[in-house]
Amino acid sequence: MNRSSRASEAPVTPSGRKKIMSTAKGTLTMGAMAVLITTSILSLRGLPSEAAYGVQSIFYYLFAAIVFLLPFSLVCAELASTYTQSGGLYRWVSEAFGPRWGWTAMYLEWQTIVIWFPTVLMFGAASLAYIFWPESFDKALASNKYYTLVVAMLMYWLATLNAFRGQRSANLLSTCGGLVGTIIPGVALIVLGIVYACLGRTDYLAHVSFFPDFGNMGTIVLAASIFLFYAGIELQAVHINDMRDPAREYPRSVFLAMIIIVAVYALGTLVIGMVVPNQNIDLLQSLLVAYKGLWASFGLGWLGNVMALLIMVGVVGQISALVTGPATGLMAVAQSGYLPRGLQKVNKNGVNKPLLLVEGAFVSLLCLVLIVLPTVESAYQIMSQMATIIYLIMVLIIYAAFIRLRRTSPGRKRGFRVPGGKAGEIVVSALGILGALAALVLSFLPPSQIATGSPAVYVGIIAVGVALFVAIPLIVYSKRKPSWRNPAAHFYPFDWQIEGCEPSQVSQWAPGYEPTEEQVEEAETGAIARHATGKH
């Protein structure tokens, strides 16, 4: 989905990484698709939250890949190859349940990133602290709530001011940050860890049972955040239309990407567990501590500060992408009449300042949770859990749309179908929905591994926040006005708008756009198939 012009091309995932665009049928190979999926999902920041599990973390990575990444990627691929016009998940859900829920799903995707934003800012503040030395000073500074709040706000609003200058400036920071702050540190972490293990250095890894204790839910809450690690596949699914043989190549790409992603996440997590004692694992600082420990074991401790600097550059790049990406994607849909025209204005650089300011207000208010909760670590975790819940609600809406569209549009041409026929549909849907529900429920609980203060306050913040954020798009939709629609917006109509209409009538739903007779015929063919089967 291009979030700069059309809602079907959003370049930023909830992990803050930009999509790579391809252009024509057959230009994307199986290997290229696997790389695309892998690079859009991998991130180092969340590894410490799983390091506390030791070797058990491998189980969680595999479990989440099987019950979430695999089924959700297949479902999104079918939807993307079926509804190829602009809109992405907004179109998928709107075709199934109407624009109210399509808008809600799109809003929740934006809201997920906004809620998740403070975790990036908090990690950025911790990375900045670890550029200095000695380590005791770094740890104390990174743990200070007021330092974290001030640095987070400065980083966010400086990135926003830079974004007002235009997308080119933001893209430059994002591209440099991706190379310097993610790829280089990621390779270094794994290589250093392998050498560290081969040389027989001190190993703190928790060698526990591979299978977790499901009788103690508080201990497995942190594992639910892995679902957010794998977020963003719904944005990459649109590229399936660029593959030569999607039915054969796409599943292979997903399996290959899963192997790479699970391997990198597992290795990175185990390296942190080897270097940092289990009782000292900190969700924000342990990655930085691990780098210092690894380099120090070779007599090069100062390189740990250099790694913190590189990671800080990566965070700045990620923030730069996150500031503009979500807002432009939301605005591409909002032009159809879901937000007041005043929020749709752009400056001379093509940047939507009003919506960025609203986004900034959200982020600033969410960062204030630092003052309410006992530690920076607990604030980081509560934002992660809330973002996970919002994202999984959107995921469940997409699953529901997939199931409904299989029944209401059986004759619709699908470039890719979930393998296995009817049985495949049932297994994939059931697996994905049950996995998402389990992670969603777990995310409401406070984790036992970190101090979160009063459980009632912790759970209350999450419950109230989720209820509020889910209600907002529904309230906005109910208050919408015809004047909010931008007459210059170009959005291809939904199938249910086209059916039974002459081509000349369709423009009332998409001002300024006139579909071809072939496009109208394709939509009407789907309607005939539905009427023939008695499914509407």
List, for residues 420-430, the tens digit of each pLDDT value.
Answer: 999 999 999 99
* Average pLDDT estimate for 124-144: 88
Mean pLDDT for the chain? 82
Strand partners of residue 243: 28
The segment with the largest mean pLDDT, out of 200-209, 437-446, 490-499, is 437-446
pLDDT band at 178 (very low <50, low <70, confident <90, very high): low
Question: What are the extents of the domains in the chain?
Answer: 30-491, 494-536
Name the DSSP class of 485: S
Mean pLDDT is lowest, of 89-103, 113-127, 153-167, 517-531, for 517-531
Identity (one letter) of the amino acid at 71? P
- pTM of the entire predicted model: 0.83
**Residue 431 to residue 428: CA distance in whole angstroms:** 5
Strand partners of residue 455: none
- Give 320: exposed, middle or buried? Use CB within 10 Å, 0-12, 13-18, 19+: buried
For 25, other C-beta atoms within 10 Å of its C-beta total 12
pLDDT in tens, 226-242: 888 888 777 777 778 78
**Residue 305 to residue 339: CA distance in whole angstroms:** 45
Residue of 483, 229, 475, 493 whose CA lies nearest to 504: 493
Answer whether residue 290 shows pLDDT above 50.
Answer: yes
Per-residue pLDDT at 320:
78
Residue of 463, 476, 477, 475 whose CA lies nearest to 389: 463
- Structure-model confidence comparison of residues 449 and 129, the more confident one: 129
Residue of 194, 173, 229 whose CA lies nearest to 43: 229
* Average pLDDT estimate for 172-184: 71
Angle between helices 353-367 and 302-334 (to 10 degrees): 130
Residue of 284, 279, 288, 293 whose CA lies nearest to 309: 288
pLDDT band at 288 (very low <50, low <70, confident <90, very high): very high
Q: Superfamily for 30-491?
A: Amino acid/polyamine transporter I (1.20.1740.10)
Per-residue pLDDT at 535:
44
Answer whether residue 312 shows pLDDT above 70.
Answer: yes
Answer whether residue 11 shows pLDDT above 80.
Answer: no
The segment with the largest mean pLDDT, out of 344-348, 384-388, 521-525, is 384-388
